[in-house]
A = this chain, B = another copy of it.
Amino acid sequence: MYRDPVQSLEAPLLPSSATAMRPLRVGMIGIGTVGAGTFRVLARNQALIAGRAGRGIKLVVVCARSLARAMSVVGKDVALTNDPMQVATHPDVDVLVEAAGGTGPARDWVLAAIRAGKHVVTANKALLAEHGNEIFAAARQHGVAVAYEGAVAVSIPIVKALREGLTANRIEWVAGIINGTTNFILSKMRDEGVGFAEALAQAQALGYAEADPTFDIEGIDAAHKISLLAANAFGMPVRFADAQVEGITALQGLDVACAEQLGFRIKLLGVAKRRKAGDAEGNVEGVELRVQPALVPATHLLAHVNGSMNAVMVKGDASGVTMYYGAGAGSEQTASAVIADLVDVARLDGTHAGQRVPHLGFHPQAVDEQLAVLPRAAVHTRHYLRVPVHSAQQIEAVGAWLAAQHVPVLQVALAHDKALPPGSGPQVLVLTDAVAQSTVDLAVFALAAHPAVAGPVVTLRVETLEG
């Protein structure tokens, strides 16, 4: 069906470069889930990909711990080594695909490749969240591309959407479900009424959660991703270290049910929002950068993103709201993004590929180094509160007391009996209008001493994510 353009292209695409028609030569470190998927898709869709890229893309050398296992994946035509640095600096390699994971050693390999003039493609969000600023600076200096579409929501081209598709816009916010494991767990908790521990066990049994799920369930993986998206959206450095991160380990099934009663679903959201805040005039601009379980209206499109799927919404001043949906993990799903990055490099000769799109979407002179992450106290959202009380009659006292503490109460309700586990006392549910986190924190701190209150008060943010 597809003729192979590597052989059949009649005219060079880039007449200025004598090497443009040579296949793009790839070296890969790691041949696990991501690496093997990339090799498999490159092989299966070889002619199709060359037809799109204008030249072939060829894996020439792989570094793996077990050479026998690597050969069982890539066959005998690909050189094999145990030495990652050999791949990173190999004279026959145009692009390094870092598919090993981890941060420290991966940083060294990637920097070595950059210094050797290689482009780099990686899906390693931890690496870029922790060392991205250093890596991108080195890549700029050496005029090479560091592409990472697979680092956020794998096959969904969200990095490309922010860096290229929405360049006309002042981005107001980015928010999304960007961790498949936790979305799978939250979907189970809602659909089957099970608690967190049981849902996690099911996710592990089905391969949706790793044996050590810490990075996922504590929100760290999502924070890696939202930090990268925020940098591309707002023209700021990667500020992972400043992100406020809360996972789902403390989330109770009771709150999933109570949220449902109020017309909401709970999703683990990564949110990056640019806002005026801070001084008395509200003239200091900052960025809310945060991951936490939040209530989303049940009628909202994000509420219908279930199982291990991901979705990212972006609000631009011209585009309005756009949304990007797809798988959040998977071998070939990640390969789809890794290969898209390789095609981007292949479509231009080396020099231009490294300079076409700035690594974080903005040219260095336009990056606002001063744009900082707002402190937790300044985060401004609607809230959900669940207040255990001794008697249902105390509902009015709780509402009035919160209003007196400057909490803008919109709705007060009692949890229905069917939402409550056996033996549970009455629960007052409160929905607030948008309010500073500091106000909520202080009110909840004081509320703990109120005689009506029978146990720990739970607060969750409510995100309406409106256009």
Residue positions of A touching B, CB distance < 8 A: 1-3, 5, 8-10, 13-14, 16, 37, 41-42, 44-45, 47-54, 149, 155-157, 160-161, 163-170, 235, 285, 299, 301, 304-305, 311, 316-327, 330, 332-333, 335-340, 343-344, 347-348, 351-352, 355-358, 361-363, 365-368, 371
Contacts and interface: CB of A to CB of B under 8 A. Distances in A.
A168 B340 contact: yes
Contacts of A160: 157, 160-161, 164-165
24 contacts: A1-B285, A2-B366, A10-B365, A45-B317, A52-B358, A53-B167, A54-B358, A149-B165, A157-B160, A157-B164, A160-B161, A160-B164, A164-B344, A168-B339, A169-B336, A301-B305, A301-B325, A311-B323, A317-B332, A318-B335, A319-B326, A322-B327, A325-B325, A347-B356
A251 B249 CA distance: 49
Number of copies: 2
A213 B463 CA distance: 37
Contacts of A161: 157, 160-161, 165
Contacts of A319: 155, 326-327, 332-333, 336
A9 B166 CA distance: 22
B336 A168 contact: yes
B3 A336 contact: no
A14 B351 CA distance: 8
A155 to B, nearest CB: 4
A343 B163 CA distance: 10
The residue in A160, A166, A322, A335 that gathers the most chain B C-beta atoms within 10 A of its C-beta is: A322
A166 B304 contact: no
A363 B320 contact: no
Nearest to A335: B318
A151 B301 CA distance: 24
Contact of A363 (B51, B157, B332, B367): B51
Contact of A169 (B45, B53, B170, B305): B45
Contact of A368 (B2, B304, B347, B363): B2
A124 B49 CA distance: 28
A336 to B, nearest CB: 4
The 6 closest A-B pairs by CB, nearest first: A51-B366, A157-B165, A168-B339, A322-B326, A155-B319, A323-B325
B322 A3 contact: no
A166 B336 contact: yes
B323 A322 contact: no
Contacts of A323: 311, 323-326
Scoring A52, A347, A356 by chain B CB atoms within 10 A of each residue's CB, the highest score goes to: A52
Nearest to A140: B11
A59 to B, nearest CB: 14
A318 B304 contact: no
Given A326-B323, A351-B16, A336 B318 contact: yes
A38 B364 CA distance: 26
Contacts of A167: 49, 52-53, 339-340, 343
A316 B155 contact: yes
